[in-house]
Structure 1
Amino acid sequence: MKTKTVLITGASSGIGKAFAELFAKLGYRVILASRNEEKLKELARQLQNHYNVSTIAIPVDLAQSNGAVLLHERLNDQDIKIDVLINNAGIGSFGLLHEQDVRSELEMLQLNVQSLSHLMMLFLPDMVKRGSGRILNMGSTTSFYACPLSANYSASKAFVLSLTESVANELQGTGVTVTALCPGATGTEFFRSAKMDGQKVADPKALMNPETVAKIGYKALMSGKTYVVPGFQNWLLTQAPRLFPRRFVTKITRGVLEQKL
């Protein structure tokens, strides 16, 4: 059988790294993409040594407007066809929107929204032509409700869920599926990089393991689910806007984020 190839963005740490190890165990050729070149190459070496699989590390900054094209062109130059795309790369931010650094916020939107969508548009045509392919987009529990103090981040994740649900419908009958993985608080570098590691929501005792999140995402991806929320408590959180007034949910969400450790 032909060895399948997976492309994982944001692969150098956290959930992306967990996905890389999961697919390597399954014998996939693993393409790792991230802007952290040192970590990326070390992970590629580890996967190749531990699982005897082909790995390729591609340093690329998807927070830049040309990042998706550069990544796609690099793979085209090597005639590499992608069977599975794990659109995992993303960052967050914390604080009042009017006090945020504009450049950093725009780079976050480029990474979480534009590059994610751009990669789908670049890789989907070939998948549809072949009649097979799977895409997983990284959403969040905040895909389902507004999140003051992380306004652009939660809006970006709402975009990811809406995009995924729309395209999943469009792809029916093509042999290609797209899934949104919407985890809650997870033990990754997210809170530190978003400057939220002093908030109660980042309490290590309450965080889900990234390996567990990746396994749940993989199962949903392979079964063709449109979206999945890991963990019953996280699923309950996503139902809040259906059960209570949105203004009330938004107020509670802000209160939770304001709590410090």
Structure 2
Amino acid sequence: MSNHTAVITGSTAGLGAAFARQLAAQGYDLVLVARDGQRLRMQAESMASQYGVKTSVIVADLVTDDGVAAVQERLADRTNPVHLLVNNAGHGLATDFIDSDLDDERKLLRLHVQTTMELSHTAARAMTRRRGGRIINVASVAGYTPTGTYSAAKSWVINFSKGLHSQLRSSGVTVTALVPGLIRTEFHQRSGIKIKSAKRWMWLDADDVVRQALTANAQGASTCVPARSYQMLTAGLRFMPDSMVQWAVDKRTESPGRGESTEDQPEGSPSAGAEYGDGTAEPTTEAINTVDAYKSAKAKISARSSTKRESQPPTG
């Protein structure tokens, strides 16, 4: 039986479920956290039966103080220490900021920012006392784009995780921001967000993403951007004008009432409210093409400038 325990929030679907499977396969005992008690208990029973690990559940709504406190109590337990915390719980909003209900905006920030901070704080204190531990905070490539509340929250998660990693690494604690792109999960369906014309190769597999995240965290990395295409994207975004990023978002994401196009989604995917993207970057579905177009435009400008210089007569 394992002597290591992992706490996973948002464990019943998407990346959270993939983390649960892979950590159980590694022999971790699991503390599974979600709002749906029935689904949570079924998952715990399945993990215990299939992998022979100990499982327990915390039924909690992590946009409430009581829900967060229940998880903090487990993280602070000195007799049954937690060795790995995965802050995965999250959701998006399908409306523009001014069209959103203010309470919904508060809940999004509460879950992605405040809850992540509070759970990380409790876990980090317990882990530094033991001189060892691991934290993975699920962010998104959207965090590199100035495209709204969700991207702002994920930007905070990335920078918070990198800063905390620097502060704690001498204490034997590794903090990693997982920064994926589009993933085949239930995220967009639950959030009511539709993705238009995303190419097949842009969709990532949840198990692959989790495998890379666990490897990066075990190796002491502060960030993990799965897939070379998204690594290229995050590098290119640093040089891309905000207006171009916003154009890509408007072109490739869709809220209810804005149309029904779902062409070019992966084969076998649902047409409306596709089941993809837990913790992902819906603004980046056209991003690779956008980066390529930007590079191409720069190359043409550079070539014209070079030709012009060569055509000028020598001086002196």
TM-score over 0.5 for the alignment? yes
Is 2:215 the partner of 1:225? no
What per-residue deviation string (whole Å, max 9, x for no partner) do you get for residues 24-49 of structure 1?
A: 01111111011111111011000100
Residue in 2 that maps onto 1:112: 112
Distance 2:231 2:188 in 1: 21
Matches within 5 A, 1:123-142: 123-142=123-142
Residue in 1 that maps onto 2:235: 239
Q: Sequence identity of aligned pairs in percent?
A: 31
Distance 1:131 1:162 in 2: 23
**Secondary structure class of the residue paired with 2:230:** helix
Return closer, same or farther for 1:201/1:223 CA change in 2, 3 Å cut-off: farther
**Secondary structure class of the residue paired with 2:134:** strand
Residue in 2 that maps onto 1:73: 73
How does the TM-score come out when normalised to structure 2? 0.76
Higher alpha-carbon Rg: 2
Distance 2:146 2:58 in 1: 34
Give, as a single letter, the amino acid of the residue that structure 2 aligns with 1:254. Answer: D
Residue in 1 that maps onto 2:178: 181
**Secondary structure class of the residue paired with 1:30:** strand
Residue in 1 that maps onto 2:273: none
Give, as a single letter, the amino acid of the residue that structure 2 aligns with 1:5. Answer: T
| TM superposition shift of 1:249 | 2.2
**Secondary structure class of the residue paired with 1:68:** helix
| TM superposition shift of 1:232 | 1.5
Does structure 2 retain, via aligned residues, the 8 Å contact 1:191–1:202?
A: no
| TM superposition shift of 1:251 | 2.7
Does structure 2 retain, via aligned residues, the 8 Å contact 1:185–1:201?
A: no
Task: Name stretches of at least 5 consecutive residues in structure 2 with no aligned partner.
Answer: 263-316
Matches within 5 A, 1:38-187: 38-74=38-74, 76=76, 79-147=79-147, 151-187=148-184
Give, as a single letter, the amino acid of the residue that structure 2 aligns with 1:82. Answer: V
Does structure 2 retain, via aligned residues, the 8 Å contact 1:177–1:224?
A: yes
Residue in 2 that maps onto 1:6: 6
**Secondary structure class of the residue paired with 2:170:** coil
What per-residue deviation string (whole Å, max 9, x for no partner) do you get for residues 79-128 of structure 1?
A: 42110001111111122111112222211111111101100111111101
Distance 2:202 2:232 in 1: 15
Residue in 2 that maps onto 1:33: 33
Give, as a single letter, the amino acid of the residue that structure 2 aligns with 1:25. Answer: A
Distance 1:37 1:79 in 2: 25
| TM superposition shift of 1:134 | 0.4
| TM superposition shift of 1:72 | 1.8
| TM superposition shift of 1:235 | 1.7
Distance 1:65 1:255 in 2: 38
Return closer, same or farther for 1:50/1:202 CA change in 2, 3 Å cut-off: farther
Return closer, same or farther for 1:154/1:247 CA change in 2, 3 Å cut-off: same
Residue in 1 that maps onto 2:18: 18
68-77 or 35-44, which deviates more: 68-77
Does structure 2 retain, via aligned residues, the 8 Å contact 1:145–1:238?
A: no
Return closer, same or farther for 1:206/1:249 CA change in 2, 3 Å cut-off: closer
Task: Name stretches of at least 5 consecutive residues in structure 1 with no aligned partner.
Answer: none
What per-residue deviation string (whole Å, max 9, x for no partner) do you get for residues 204-246 of structure 1?
A: 7742111111111111111110001111222222123322223
| TM superposition shift of 1:76 | 5.0
Distance 1:169 1:77 in 2: 25
Residue in 1 that maps onto 2:251: 255
10-19 or 87-96, which deviates more: 87-96
| TM superposition shift of 1:257 | 1.8
